[in-house]
Amino acid sequence: MQLSIATWNINSVRLRIELVGKLAAEHQPDVICLQETKTPDDRFPLKDAARFGYPHAAIHGQKGYHGVAILSKLPFDNVSRQGFCDMGDARHISVVLGREAGLAQPVTVHNFYIPAGGDIPDPAVNEKFRHKLDFLDEATAWELLHPQDPAARSVLVGDLNIAPLEADVWSHKQLLDVVSHTPVEVERLANLQAAGRWVDVMRGFIPPDEKLYTWWSYRAADWAASNRGRRLDHVWATPAFAAQARAMTVLREARSWERPSDHVPVVVRFEA
């Protein structure tokens, strides 16, 4: 059995629900993880998701800000949500796909939306940046992100709001002092990755020295021509499950869809 998982910062699911339908129609991922849904749970477009072929949904939203959701063709064995920094923000949701989904061995999917961090990379003067660092520290300490079983099959996806590698940004030199690529953020993200022995699945398909972006700013007059992108969206997996990754696609063309998000979907297919 194959299992395909998409991750996408949709930047308002109610505004762009038809783009979710376009992703579903053209690529048919089994699971779609969305971030920045920006809607409370009672206003999430569940009927549209079901119309696109995703009758199962785990949602964790709030009005106007943040929010994460997992849409699935397959039923869940379990759904859970985790809070961080006592902020009440909807930034995490996870599901377990197991017997109900027809899997002999379960797969846990964590969907994260890590804080962006504002504009000034100094926690002493920018509360948003301090929040981002604190969030990363709490996530790193969270034991459920430290699978101990060598055979554990877990995936961590989402808008992690950090481009860690030099080739994850259009100019390493010019962005060293720009939030999302500063050394302190990159170090914190590396700590989170190491704590769970998470494998960067995307870089298993695209060498670390090759440019790879998932986000292009709305501010660019011609985003494609300038190509000043960053890889803010990630797919990680535990070592045992990362070895089962068979294909990875960054849907760059989605940045040119009508009324697009500034992020594009990433789809990874695993042998499950």
Q: What token pair was written down for 137?
A: 């520290």
Whole-number Å distance between alpha carbons of 136 and 131? 9
**Could you read off the pLDDT of 159-191 as tens digits, one per residue?**
999 999 999 999 999 999 999 999 999 999 999
pLDDT score of 130? 98
The CATH topology of domain 2-271 is Deoxyribonuclease I; Chain A (3.60.10)
pLDDT at 59: 98
Q: Find out whether 97 and 123 touch, Cβ atoms under 8 Å.
A: no
CA distance 262 to 255: 6
The torsion angles phi and psi of 187, rounded to 5 degrees, stand at: -65, -40
Contacts of 45 (CB under 8 A, 6+ apart): 13, 14, 17
Q: Is the pTM of this model over 0.85?
A: yes
What does the pLDDT read at residue 140?
98
- pLDDT, tens digit, for every residue of 57-103? 999 999 999 999 999 999 999 999 999 999 999 999 999 999 999 99
Which residues touch 174 (CB under 8 Å, ≥6 apart)?
A: none
Under-50 pLDDT residues of the chain: none
63-87 b/e (C-beta count within 10 Å ≥ 16 → b): eeebbbbbbbbbebbeeeebebbee
Provide the pLDDT for residue 148: 85
Name the residue type at position 71.
L
Which of 49, 3, 4, 16 has the alpha carbon at shortest distance from 262? Answer: 16
Domain boundaries, the chain: 2-271
SS (H, E, C) the chain: CEEEEEEEECCCCCCCHHHHHHHHHHHCCCEEEEECCCCCHHHCCHHHHHHCCCCEEEEECCCCCCCEEEEECCCCCEEECCCCCCCCCCCEEEEEECHHHCCCCCEEEEEEECCCCCCCCCCCCCHHHHHHHHHHHHHHHCHHHCCCCCCCCEEEEEECCCCCCHHHECCHHHHCCCCCCCHHHHHHHHHHHHHCCCEECHHHHCCCCCCCCCEECCCCCCHHHHCCEECCEEEEECHHHHCCEEEEEECHHHHHCCCCCCECCEEEEEEC
Let me know: does 201 contact 266? Beta carbons within 8 Å. Answer: no
Task: Please give the C-alpha separations between residue 7 and each of 68, 236, 268, in angstroms, as whole numbers.
Answer: 11, 11, 9
Query: Other CB atoms closer than 10 Å to residue 158's CB: what's the count?
Result: 26
